[in-house]
């Protein structure tokens, strides 16, 4: 496991302990980062990855342990001392200033850090231009950051880190909001950074991506160190196993669906000008159909049209063989369609309400008894049974949803729609931001629902997930379904190629 | 990936039109109001009107500078009139009660020291305890006014100390016209100096940029090592000092110290600053826009008087202007701020090295 003779690490954490209110977030964790390497930090939600990053970047102070950066020992860091030591974090939200120009975002923090009391926009521009040119990017330096695409915001954050003489760059979930092409561009950039001698720590859920770019890997589980080693020594399943402590199955498991199974959802000639056109789609009972494509391809808009969020202007939709007219969300719900939106935090949940209230939110009218009063006992029993079926992990169901982890919150959204007993369930990015353990459980739930006779449509970027669960995968480009893969044709590489084509 | 034509920047003065905060539109609107009023009432277009608009705008102008600082940093302050009254009235009441005259500079220094102290209270409550700025300043505004009346005094002081009283009639420019002699008040000079200093400070110091950064995203500011708390505290102290300065000017203009003065001026001031393009959500705003906003509100108020519109309607107009300013911001925010060049829509890496 040791690489010898080991070059002197640029960053070393020894026996770091951090507790929050008596709970160990990190329990004697050690970590080394070698010069010029890309080191993946993997772990499920709550495994202590974020805490470790916060300790390196000086946002949190460890209870005990030593941090050695560039040969200097520290008991703890502050944000300023971490930056001075060459540590830069590129946060998931990029931590940029939306109201300032790209040039100022890149150059101002450095001008400040070197002790300047004055700021000169004229001096900032060449600094920013220099790094942008050096990396061969095409960023508009005068644009407000608020007007940039997600990928360009990330590039701005990377430029800012480099301008501040970063020796160590930590990227927190850098690929979550990027499309496949953007991820490829990012990784090309990461290799160029490496060749400049920068060391990178990559934090990611998406193991395939991480393995493409990392040399070494450290896995955390429940705040403890589990493994460190060369990335090449592990495959997807091995890492997933280390992260969860269980064997995680990412292989393809699809049940057989008879060719004459009843049709759950049929869409013909669906279109909305400017979004999508001529969409034909058949989902049989028991079938899981994947819908994928680049961001902006129209895949999300198709799902939203079927659910009546923004209705289509042409075409027909039938559910269970009966034509339905869907002009609004209530129409879709009445027709037996359920929808788990992409951004579950803002669209799918009432964050401050209890788990139980969220679970029952879409089906509450079904529990109206005599005189239209709620039959509380029956409702609670039902909520309990759904919650335990979906294995929602919470001390009790009256807690606010806000307190749940990503995977559990997603299960609450799922539970909400399963309570309505839909004939068709559409899910947009069902496992975004969910750790591997929860992810495979969510896919298992979908398989169970499908085999109980539901038609399931999964809209996703996550190709291994489509491969693992979908009977058929449809690829959307420019608002049209351009390709359908079924049976043995559903392979990770094939899907990747067709999306990029 | 990008055509040169797309990347080429418009050059010259036109390229800045209408300015980062739409100052150009505001200036055009101001000129329009002046043109319309001049056509409607020829007496309006005169040096006398100009000087009286400036005189009337002086106090809101100073306050607006303070409000701008707070808005840029992502907060809002409604306590500045209370701080102005507390500081200016206390400075005068304390010295006159002892029968001394601290002199012009002494009186201003005393008032501004009190203003700084009251601003510090706001700053600490807001920065240290992370309380919402509107509620904190609403609370302190009530507290400051009440505390002053309880502990300092509630009497109307009709006779200002001589050093202040003699400023009331001092002018920096006086011009003889057919209608008589018209004056530009001397206190315009320090206000202009302060304005230039604040403009430079916001644009060219790290402190100023930190204020914008905090207004843009306080957590991001903390993460790049900006001392967020200290910057906020200093900002509120500055606002306190500016408020005290404004209070003194108001007293000198009115030739009396009235503990009930400056009630309701926060509406005019905030309306002017928001009209001037400063965002109520923080991070945007300029000194030039703010000055234009103040002048616009003042010119409109003046015009309404000239046309004979009752006072109640003037208040309503200012309220409408505030809504107009906020509405314009919301409308502008819904459009993309600038057409994104094609180069940044696709992943922006030009070519793999």
Of B219, B347, B349, the CB nearest to A95: B219
Residues from chain A that touch B212, judged by Cβ atoms under 8 A, are 97, 99-100
- Say whether both A199 and A345 belong to one domain: no
CA distance A140 to chain B (A): 7
What are the residues whose beta carbons fall under 8 Å from the beta carbon of A195, sequence distance 6 or more? Answer: A36
Of B19, B69, B111, B76, give the one whose Cα is nearest residue B231: B69
Q: Is residue A208 part of a domain?
A: yes
Q: Are residues A227 and A290 in the same domain?
A: no
Is residue A386 assigned to a domain? yes
Note whether A98 contacts B207, CB cutoff 8 Å: no
Q: Which of A158-162, A224-228, A233-237, B75-79 has the highest mean pLDDT?
A: B75-79
Q: Which residues of B112-126 are buried (b: 16+ CB within 10 A; e: fewer)?
A: bebbbbbbebbbbbb
- In this structure, the answer to whether residues A57 and A161 fall within a common structural domain is yes
The answer to whether B285 and B278 have CB atoms below 8 angstroms apart is yes
Q: What's the confidence (pLDDT) of residue B352?
A: 37
Percentage of chain A with pLDDT > 70?
A: 93
When pLDDT is averaged across residues A201-230 and rounded to a whole number, the result is 85
Q: Do A80 and B225 touch (CB under 8 A)?
A: yes
E-strand stretches of B178-258: 180-185
Are A329 and A472 members of one domain?
A: yes
Residue A51 lies in a domain: yes
Rounded CA separation A135/B352 (Å): 9
Q: Tens digits of per-residue pLDDT, A89-114?
A: 988 778 899 999 999 999 988 888 77
Instruction: Write out pLDDT tens, residues B132-162.
Output: 999 999 999 999 999 999 988 888 988 888 8
A252 in any annotated domain:
no
Q: Do B349 and A113 touch (CB under 8 A)?
A: no
Which of A97, A98, A113, A116 should be substituted to probe chain B, the one whose Cβ sees the most B Cβ atoms within 10 Å?
A: A97
- Among A492-496, B85-89, B104-108, B285-289, name the one with the lowest average pLDDT: A492-496
Q: Do A145 and A216 reside in the same domain of the chain?
A: yes
Residue that the structure tokens 């009752």 belong to: B310
Long-range contacts of A189-196 (CB under 8 A, 24+ apart): A189/A135, A189/A155, A189/A158, A189/B349, A190/A38, A192/A135, A192/B353, A193/A158, A193/A162, A193/A169, A194/A36, A194/A37, A194/A38, A195/A36
B208 contacts A119 by C-beta, under 8 angstroms: yes
Cα–Cα distance for residue pair A329/A334, rounded to 1 Å = 9
For residue B164, the Cα-to-chain-centroid distance in whole angstroms is: 23
More confident residue, A365 or B77: B77
Is there a contact between A1 and A20 (Cβ–Cβ < 8 Å)? no
Percent of chain B topping pLDDT 70: 89
State mean pLDDT over A1-14: 73
The reply to whether A149 touches chain B by the CB within 8 Å rule is yes
Most confident of A173-177, A407-411, B107-111, B254-258: B107-111
Biggest CA pair distance of chain A: 79
Same domain assignment for residues A414 and A307: yes
Is residue A152, in this structure, part of any structural domain at all?
A: yes
Chain B residue numbers touching A162 (CB-CB < 8 A): none
| One domain, residues A52 and A191 | yes
B199, B210, B221, B348: best mutation site toward chain A, by most A Cβ within 10 Å? Answer: B348
List Cβ neighbours of B181 (8 Å cut-off, separation of 6 or more): B174, B175
What's phi and psi for B98, nearest 5 deg? -95, 5
Nearest beta carbon to residue A155 from set B205, B207, B348: B348
User: Which among B94, B3, B43 has a CA at the least distance from the CA of B305?
Assistant: B43
Residues in chain A: 501
Q: Is residue A3 part of a domain?
A: no
Set out the domains of chain B in order of their start, with CATH numbers.
23-28+42-331 (1.10.3470)
Contact A426, A446 (CB under 8 A): no
Instruction: Judge: B284–A99 Cβ closer than 8 Å, yes or no.
Output: yes
One domain for residues A39 and A154: yes
Q: Helix or strand or coil: residue A15? A: strand
Residue of B nearest to A184 (CA): B347
Burial class (CB in 10 A: 0-12, 13-18, 19+), A391: middle
Q: Closest Cα of chain B to A322: distance in Å?
A: 40
- CB-based contacts of B35: which residues, under 8 Å, 6+ apart? none
Give this complex's ipTM.
0.83
Q: Are strands A288-292 and A472-477 parallel, antiparallel or unpaired?
A: parallel
Comparing alpha-carbon positions, the chain B residue that sits nearest to A82 is B225
Q: Is the pLDDT of residue B240 over 70?
A: yes
pLDDT beyond 70 at A241: yes
Residue A347 confidence class, pLDDT cut points 50, 70, 90: low
φ and ψ of A47, to 5 deg: -85, -10
d(CA A331, CA A148): 36
Which residues lie across from A443 on neighbouring strands?
A: none
The mean pLDDT value for A190-200 works out to 90
Measured in whole angstroms, how far is the alpha carbon of residue A156 from the centre of its chain? 21
Identify the closest residue of chain A to B205 by CA–CA distance: A118
Residues of B engaging A, defined by a Cβ cutoff of 8 Å: 1-2, 7, 9, 203-210, 212-213, 215-217, 219-226, 279, 282-284, 336-338, 340-341, 343-353
A176 pLDDT higher than 80? no
Chain B CB within 8 Å of residue A117 CB? yes
Q: Which of A57, A99, A185 sits opposite B349 (nearest CB)?
A: A185
Whether residue A146 lies within 8 A of chain B, CB to CB, comes out as yes
Residue B343: per-residue pLDDT: 33
Dihedral class, residue A211 (left if φ above 0, else alpha if ψ from -120 to 50, else beta):
alpha
Do A237 and A207 share a structural domain?
A: yes
| Cis, bond preceding A18 (omega within 30 deg of 0) | no
Which of A192, A209, A244 is a domain's end point? A244
Other beta carbons within 10 angstroms of residue A24's beta carbon come to: 17
Residues spanned by the domain of A170:
11-244
**For chain A, how are helix, strand and coil distributed in percent, rounded to 5?**
40, 25, 35
Does residue B165 surpass a pLDDT of 60? Answer: yes
The winner for highest mean pLDDT among A214-228, A440-454, B74-88 is B74-88
pTM: 0.73
Backbone angles phi, psi at B15, to 5 degrees: -65, -25
- CB half-sphere exposure, A326, CA atoms < 13 A: 33
| A413 lies in the same domain as A441 | yes
State which of A193, A211, A244 marks the end of a domain: A244
Asked whether B263 and B104 are in contact (CB, 8 A), the reply is no
For residues A355-365, give the mean pLDDT.
Answer: 80
DSSP strand E in chain B: where?
171-177, 180-185
Task: Find chain B residues with C-beta within 8 A of A142's C-beta.
Answer: 9
- Residue that wins the pLDDT comparison between B223 and B149: B149
The neighbour count for residue A501, using CB atoms within 10 Å, is: 9
Write out the two tokens for B151: 């502990």
Number of domains in chain A: 2
3-state secondary structure of A259: coil
A341 shares a domain with A281 = yes
Q: For residue A134, tell me if it sits in a domain.
A: yes
For an interface test with B, give the residue of A78, A140, A150, A169 to mutate (most B CBs within 10 A): A140
Closest approach of B123 to chain A, Cα-based (Å): 22
Q: Does some domain include residue A2? A: no
- Tokens 């000129």 belong to B31
Of A216, A244, A272, which residue constitutes the final position of a domain?
A244
Could you tell me which residue, B253 or A135, shows the higher pLDDT? B253
Which residues in chain B have their CB less than 8 angstroms from residue A111's CB?
A: 206
The residues, any chain, with a CB within 8 Å of residue B316's CB and separated by 6 or more, are: none
**At B8, is the pLDDT very low, low, confident or very high (cuts 50, 70, 90)?**
very low
Burial of A404 (0-12, 13-18, 19+ CB in 10 A): buried
Taking an 8 Å cut-off on Cβ atoms, the answer to whether B350 and A137 are in contact is yes
Nearest to A109 among B224, B336, B350 (CB): B224
CATH number of the domain that residue A339 is part of: 3.40.50.300
pLDDT, mean over chain B: 85
Q: Do A98 and B343 touch (CB under 8 A)?
A: no
Apex A71 CA angle, A68 and A74, nearest 5: 35
SS3 B156: coil
Alpha-carbon distance A265 to A262, whole Å?
9
Nearest-angstrom CA–CA distance, B267 and B265: 5
CA of residue B82 relative to chain centroid, distance: 15
The helix, strand and coil proportions of chain B, stated in percent and rounded to the nearest 5, come to 70, 5, 25
What's the pLDDT tens digit per position in A438-469? Answer: 788 888 888 988 988 899 999 988 888 889 88
Give the pLDDT mean for A373-381: 80
Backbone angles phi, psi at B200, to 5 degrees: -65, -45
CB A498 within 8 A of CB A475: yes
Closest CA to A156 of A105, A86, A98: A105
pLDDT of amino acid A472: 93
**A296 touches B at CB < 8 Å:** no
% of chain A with per-residue pLDDT over 90: 27
Using CB atoms, pick whichever of A147, A151, A192 lies closest to residue B338.
A147
Confidence category of residue B252, pLDDT binned at 50, 70, 90: very high
Residue scoring higher pLDDT (A463 or B83): B83
Contact A139 B284 (CB under 8 A): no
Residues of A in contact with B220 (CB under 8 A): 94-97
> A238 with A274, same domain?
no
Most A CBs within 10 Å, among B202, B210, B224, to test the A interface: B224
């Amino acid at each position: 496991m040791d690489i010898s003779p080991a070059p002197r690490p640029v960053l070393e954490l020894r026996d770091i302990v951090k507790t929050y209110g008596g709970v160990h977030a990190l329990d004697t964790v050690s970590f080394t980062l070698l010069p010029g390497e890309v080191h993946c930090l993997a772990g499920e939600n709550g495994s202590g990855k974020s805490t470790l990053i916060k300790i390196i970047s000086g946002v949190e102070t460890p209870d005990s342990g030593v941090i050695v950066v560039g040969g200097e020992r520290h008991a703890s860091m502050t944000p300023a001392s971490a930056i001075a030591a060459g540590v830069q974090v590129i946060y998931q939200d990029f931590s940029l200033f939306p109201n300032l120009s790209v040039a100022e975002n890149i150059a101002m923090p450095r001008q400040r850090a070197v002790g300047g009391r004055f700021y000169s926009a004229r001096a900032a521009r060449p600094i920013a231009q220099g790094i942008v040119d050096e990396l061969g990017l095409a960023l508009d330096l005068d644009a407000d950051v608020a007007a940039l695409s997600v990928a360009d915001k990330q590039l701005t954050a990377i430029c800012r880190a480099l301008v501040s003489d970063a020796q160590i760059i930590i990227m927190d979930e850098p690929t979550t909001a990027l499309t496949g092409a953007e991820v490829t561009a990012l990784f090309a950039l990461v290799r160029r950074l490496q060749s400049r001698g920068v060391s990178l720590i990559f934090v990611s859920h998406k193991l395939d991506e991480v393995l493409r770019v990392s040399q070494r890997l450290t896995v955390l589980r429940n705040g403890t160190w589990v493994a460190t080693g060369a990335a090449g020594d592990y495959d997807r399943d091995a890492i997933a196993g280390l992260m969860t402590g269980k064997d995680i199955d990412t292989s393809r498991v699809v049940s057989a669906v008879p060719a004459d199974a009843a049709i759950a959802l049929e869409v013909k000639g669906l279109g909305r000008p400017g979004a999508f056109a001529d969409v034909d789609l058949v989902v049989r009972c028991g079938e899981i159909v994947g819908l994928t494509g680049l961001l902006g391809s129209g895949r999300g808009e198709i799902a939203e049209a079927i659910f009546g969020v923004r209705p289509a202007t042409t075409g027909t939709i039938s559910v269970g063989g009966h034509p339905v007219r869907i002009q609004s969300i209530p129409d879709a719900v009445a027709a037996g369609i359920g929808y788990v939106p992409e951004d579950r935090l803002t669209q799918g949940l009432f964050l401050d309400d209890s788990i139980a209230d969220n679970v029952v939110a879409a089906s509450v009218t079904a529990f109206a008894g005599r005189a239209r009063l709620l039959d509380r006992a029956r409702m609670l029993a039902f909520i309990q049974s759904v919650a335990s079926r979906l294995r929602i992990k919470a001390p009790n169901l009256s807690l606010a949803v806000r307190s749940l982890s990503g995977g559990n919150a997603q299960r609450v959204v799922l539970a909400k729609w399963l309570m309505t007993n839909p004939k068709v369930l559409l899910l947009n990015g069902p496992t975004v931001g969910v750790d591997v353990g929860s992810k495979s459980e969510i896919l298992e739930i979908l398989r169970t629902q499908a085999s109980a006779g539901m038609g399931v449509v999964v809209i996703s970027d996550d190709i291994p997930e489509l491969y693992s669960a979908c009977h058929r995968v449809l690829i959307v480009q420019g608002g049209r379904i351009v390709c359908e893969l079924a049976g043995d044709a559903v392979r990770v590489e094939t899907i990747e190629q067709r999306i990029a084509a | 990936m990008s055509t040169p034509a797309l990347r080429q920047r418009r050059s010259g003065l036109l390229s800045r039109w209408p300015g980062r905060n739409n100052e150009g539109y505001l200036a055009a609107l101001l000129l329009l109001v002046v043109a319309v009023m001049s056509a409607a009432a020829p007496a309006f277009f005169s040096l006398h009107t100009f000087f009286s608009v400036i005189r009337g705008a002086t106090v809101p102008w100073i306050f607006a500078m303070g409000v701008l600082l707070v808005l840029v940093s992502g907060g809002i302050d409604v306590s500045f009139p209370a701080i102005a009254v507390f500081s200016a009235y206390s400075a005068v009441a304390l010295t006159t009660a002892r029968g001394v005259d601290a002199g012009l500079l002494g009186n201003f220094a005393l008032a501004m020291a009190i203003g700084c102290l009251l601003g510090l209270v706001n700053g600490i409550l807001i920065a240290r305890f992370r309380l919402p700025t509107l509620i904190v300043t609403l609370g302190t505004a009530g507290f400051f006014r009440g505390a002053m009346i309880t502990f300092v005094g509630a009497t109307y002081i009709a006779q200002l100390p001589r050093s202040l009283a003699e400023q009331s009639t001092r002018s920096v420019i006086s011009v003889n016209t057919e209608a008589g002699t018209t004056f530009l008040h001397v206190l315009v000079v320090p206000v202009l100096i302060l304005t230039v200093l604040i403009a430079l400070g916001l644009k060219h110091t790290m402190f100023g940029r930190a204020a914008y950064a905090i207004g843009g995203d306080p957590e991001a500011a903390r993460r790049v090592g900006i001392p967020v708390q200290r910057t906020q505290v200093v900002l509120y102290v500055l606002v306190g000092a500016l408020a005290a300065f404004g209070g003194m000017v108001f007293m000198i203009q009115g030739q009396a110290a009235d503990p009930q003065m400056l009630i309701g001026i926060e509406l005019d001031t905030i309306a002017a600053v928001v009209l001037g393009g400063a965002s109520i959500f923080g991070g945007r705003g300029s000194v030039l826009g703010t000055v234009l906003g103040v002048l616009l509100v003042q010119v409109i108020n003046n015009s309404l008087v000239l046309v004979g519109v009752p006072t109640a309607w003037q208040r309503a107009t200012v309220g409408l202007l505030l809504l107009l300013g906020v509405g314009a911001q919301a409308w502008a925010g819904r459009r993309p701020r600038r057409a994104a060049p094609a180069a940044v829509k696709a992943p922006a890496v030009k070519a793999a090295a």
